[in-house]
Chain A
Amino acid sequence: MIKAFLSIVAKELLDFLRSWGLVAVVLYSFTVDVYIAGSGMQIEPKNVSVGYVDYTGGGISQKILFHLHEPEFVAPKRFLSQKQLSEAIFNKEIMVGIVFDQDFEKNYRKHKKATIDVLLDATAASQSFITLSYLQNIVLNFSKLNIPIDIDIHKLFNPNSDERYFMALVELLSVVTMLSILLPAVVFVREKEEGTWDIMLLMPVDPKIVILAKSLSQIIIIMAGVVITVGLVLFSTFNIPMNGSFFAFLLLTFFYAFTSAGIGLFIASVSEGMMQTAQLSMLIMMPLIFLSGAWTPVYAMHPILEKLSLLSPLRYYIEGCESIFFRGTSFIDLWQYFAGVLVLGSVLYWYGFRKIGKLF
């Protein structure tokens, strides 16, 4: 029993290592891909081009513009009329236009409500949103409230808002998801397509053992990749803090990979050939990767999708990893993530066993 199990695992690992093309692609995804995503992606605005029209004499307005500086903004460019400014925004030369009308300074001096018109290029919505809030904060500092309020903001776990941490980690989790679904799926479907799967089932070995051994072999590959990424890219290059226990992370990754392999098993058992596997895995992977809470918090989504995301193992994995890496959550408080991943995994394997675990 154990011997059969181990020899299947060894055979699959050997199979993997012999396909140097596959090894190269997997290594690339675990190293270069994560590195690139982490090194240059930024969600916060940088080099935002600002144009302005100033119908006032230019006292207060210049003071406000003075606050728009590098690295977030390029030095504001002056336009003579609002029409010229709009044209520049149409041509995407300028992303944010500011208009100070004639009454602006008068109202400001008279303690009335002074208004600035801001034109935003909303085709770049994320930047527009954040730029607007930057502007709001600059202007709020100008609205001299006589109330000396001190808003004392502490950003926990990632005080400098280093986005490299986040991007690199999310990229890693996406790569883990893709590979741990795809690799098992193709391992099973290839045998199915070539007809060797039926032979496998005829052998005097419990099909469950075969399925588990095959999944495990692919999970070992994933785990090796994860260790390489975490060591080489996350810790050495990006200096990502590890506030929780590394062991918990590895354990969660192992369970998660098992569940994803279950998804792969599911795909393999319902599809007839490689083409279908390709299409189906895309169909399942893409919503998993992008709608599990990394890009948009689950609670901000459409209510139906919010419920559906409970079915995504990646939802638990992302939250769990964020908790382990940044929040340093204690092991006991992670139980829900482990539970979520394990429950989904068991259901998938149960289905897989039933569907392709027997010949007739």
Chain B
Amino acid sequence: MNIGVIKAYTLKEFKELMRTRMIFTVYALPLTILVLFGYGIRMEVTHSRILIIDNDQSKLSGELVEKFKHSKYFNTTEANISESKALKLIKQAKKDAIIIIPTSFEKRLIKAQKIDIAIFIDGSFPNRAHTIENYIESVIINYLQNYAQRYPTFSTNIIAINPRSLFNQAMRDEDAIVPGLIGLALFVSPAILTALLIVKEKEKGTIFNFYASSINKEDFLIAKLIPPFLLHSVSVLILFLIAVYLFRVPFRGSFALYWFSSELYVLVSLSVGLLVSIVTRSQIVALVLTVIITILPGFLYSGIILPISSMSRESYIEAHMFPVMYYNHIAYDTFLIGQGLSSKKIVLYLIILMGFACVLLNLGWFLLKKELKK
């Protein structure tokens, strides 16, 4: 370690980054991810486009249709068209579901005879179809429960569910998504920043300065890491402020833990990019490789939409190979739960993140050659 050399080299790296006008894009990326995704990704499926064909046109069936019309989950239209025509609308992706109320709905309901309500749902997006199915069912059952209560002749045993969500009382989508997005943003943007740092020099030939000078491998790596690390330390703070003040996500844990784990995680992401930069020979490969190993895994394995615990086989294993899920567990805890270091799992995950940083940096150090490769 030679402090003077590191200092000089760091300064050179920093100036280089500044001169390419990177300062703008460095922060634009995490900001865009958090703000756009925070407003764009929703767990609830609202405004599903459903079409009701009311063949009965009676008072009771009208009440049922009204129920659908008043729900925020549906954009309901009513039409009197044939079933095949309606199915064609689904085929053209103009409607998500069709509900067909049979002709004798009212008569049969009053007489308590069997009623068949046919529902057709577009199953192209399975999860969406599932959600819509549940919403439709509960609207209908709810309607019938109300109906049964009005007419005591139907003796009913009604069980109601009273859901209470811990940590996220209002079941706000923002609370559930934004902490996870921080994990995605702090994975993708540091990695893409460092991915080209070394391979760029290889392509341009300036890497010979490193080969020929007396700087050590470790000093070189440290000098390469410091400027992006400092730049992204600021994003850690920016993302925190946006989450708390723009999205109004509660913050229940300790800020120190958030700060420490985020810095550690940024270091891991930077090392991922740096490792890519060390093993590749051309900028194109480095860029494509980084994009492939960060964007999709960062999103899929972050636990935002797909819970890790319900993954199976290959995906489950791959999820554990990426740092995102460990950091996100800590991020969700610091924002919504606030257990902090009293939870063994968080301590374990912190250690795993440190392990990631150590292994990646050492691997990079090992693979970085200080001579011309044949």
Q: A22-B288, A278-B196, A299-B75 are in contact. Are A154 and B118 (CB under 8 A)?
A: yes
Known: A146-B156, A179-B288, A296-B42. Contact between A283 and B48, CB under 8 A? no
Cβ B307 vs Cβ A127 within 8 A: yes
A142, A166, A325 pick with most chain B CB within 10 angstroms: A166
B28–A21 touching, CB < 8 Å = no
Which 3 pairs between the two chains have the least Cβ-Cβ distance?
A: A40-B315, A125-B176, A122-B168
CB of B164 to closest CB in A, whole Å: 5
Question: Is B310 a contact of A47 with CB atoms below 8 Å?
Answer: yes
Known: A127-B307, A146-B156, A154-B119. A116 touches B162 (CB 8 A): yes
User: Which of B137, B158, B303 contacts A151 (CB under 8 A)?
Assistant: B137
Select one of B32, B47, B130, B305 contacting A295, CB under 8 A. Answer: B305
The 8 A CB mask of A287-307 against B (1 = contact, 0 = none) is 101110011110111101100
Asked if B217 is at the interface of the complex by the 8 Å CB criterion, the answer is no
Please encode chain A, from 218 to 240, with 1 for each CB lying within 8 Å of some chain B CB and 0 for all others: 00000000000000000000000
The reply to whether the CB of B171 lies closer than 8 angstroms to some CB of chain A is yes
* Cross-chain contact of B121 among A130, A153, A162, A277 (Cβ < 8 A): A153
B284 within 8 A of A: yes
Q: Are A144 and B156 in contact, with the CB atoms below 8 A?
A: yes
A116 & B161 in contact (Cβ 8 Å cutoff): yes
A282 to chain B, nearest CB (A): 5
Contact: B173 with A125, CB < 8 Å?
A: yes
Q: Are B25 and A280 in contact (CB under 8 A)?
A: yes
A17 within 8 A of partner (CB): no
Q: Is the CB of A124 within 8 A of B303?
A: yes
B138 contacts A302, CB within 8 Å? no
Q: Does A2 contact B (CB under 8 A)?
A: no
B1 within 8 A of A: no
**Which residues from chain B contact A175 at a C-beta distance below 8 Å?**
292, 296
A46 at the interface (CB under 8 A from B): yes
A-B contacts counted at CB < 8 A amount to 398
Interface string of B135-171 (1 = CB under 8 A from A): 0111011001101100000111111111111111101
Contact A329-B93, Cβ < 8 Å, known A128-B165, A275-B200: yes
Q: Contacts A148-B113, A282-B291; is A274 near B29 (CB within 8 Å)?
A: no
> Residue B44 at the A interface, CB < 8 A?
yes
Q: Are B167 and A123 in contact (CB under 8 A)?
A: yes
Question: When the two chains form their complex, are residues A275 and B140 in contact, meaning their CB atoms are under 8 A apart?
Answer: no
- Segment at the interface with A among B33-41, B51-59, B232-240, B257-265: B33-41
User: Which of A106-114, A206-214, A343-351, A352-360 faces chain B?
Assistant: A106-114
Chain B's nearest CB lies how many Å from the CB of A225?
Answer: 12
A290 adjacent to B156 (CB under 8 Å): no
Given contacts A126-B307, A152-B117, contact A283 B44 (CB under 8 A): no
Task: Establish whether residues A178 and B292, one from each chain, have CB atoms under 8 Å apart when the complex forms.
Answer: yes
Chain A residues with Cβ below 8 Å from B115 are 147-150
B300 at the interface (CB under 8 A from A): yes
B45 within 8 A of A: yes
Binary interface encoding of chain B residues 206-224 relative to chain A, with 1 for a CB under 8 A from any of its CBs, else 0: 0000000000000000000
With A42-B310, A278-B195 given, is the CB distance from A37 to B296 under 8 Å? yes
- Residues A276 and B159 in contact, CB atoms below 8 Å apart: no
Contact B157 A142 (CB under 8 A): yes
Q: Is the CB of A155 within 8 A of B123?
A: yes
Find chain A residues with CB under 8 A from B32 CB: 283, 286-287
Interface residues on B, range: 35 or more
Q: Contacts A22-B284, A153-B133 given: A122-B158 contact, CB under 8 Å? A: no
A interface residue numbers (CB < 8 A to B): 19, 21-22, 25-26, 28-29, 33, 35-37, 39-48, 64, 86, 89-92, 95, 108-109, 111, 113-130, 132-133, 135-137, 139-140, 142-159, 161-163, 165-166, 171, 174-175, 178-179, 182-183, 186, 190, 272-283, 285-287, 289-291, 294-297, 299-302, 304-305, 319, 322-323, 325-329, 333
Q: Are B144 and A147 in contact (CB under 8 A)?
A: yes
Q: Is B80's beta carbon under 8 Å from chain A?
A: no
Beta-carbon contact of A143 and B140 below 8 Å: no
Q: 8 more A-B contacts (CB under 8 A) besides A111-B155, A283-B32, A329-B93?
A: A21-B282, A139-B161, A146-B155, A148-B112, A161-B129, A275-B196, A276-B22, A291-B40
B127 touches A297 (CB 8 A): no
Does residue B76 face the partner (Cβ distance < 8 Å to A)? no
Choose, from B7-15, B331-339, B350-358, B361-369, the stretch at the interface. Answer: B331-339
B371 touches A (CB below 8 Å): no
| B295 and A289 within 8 A (CB) | yes
Residues of B within 8 A of A132 (CB): 161, 163
- The reply to whether A333 and B91 contact each other, CB–CB distance below 8 Å, is yes
A322 in contact with B124 (CB, 8 Å): yes
Partner pick for A286 among B127, B134, B280, B295, CB 8 A cutoff: B295
A166-B126, A275-B200 known; A114 vs B159 contact (CB < 8 Å): yes
Query: Which of chain A's residues has its CB closest to B96's CB?
Result: A297
The chain A residue with its CB closest to the CB of B281 is A21
A135: nearest residue on chain B (CB-CB)? B161
B21 part of interface (Cβ distance < 8 Å): yes
Report B267-287 CB contacts with A as 1/0, cut-off 8 Å: 000000000000011111101
A145 touches B148 (CB 8 A): yes
By a CB distance below 8 angstroms, the chain A residues around B131 are 129-130, 133
Contacts of B138 in A (CB 8 A): 133, 136, 140
CB contact between B140 and one of A21, A91, A149, A295 (< 8 Å): that residue: A149
Known: A123-B167, A155-B133. A40 touches B311 (CB 8 A): yes
Interface pairs (9), CB distance under 8 Å:
A113-B160, A120-B166, A125-B176, A151-B140, A274-B196, A274-B287, A282-B189, A287-B32, A326-B123
Do residues A186 and B145 form an inter-chain contact, with CB atoms below 8 A? Answer: no
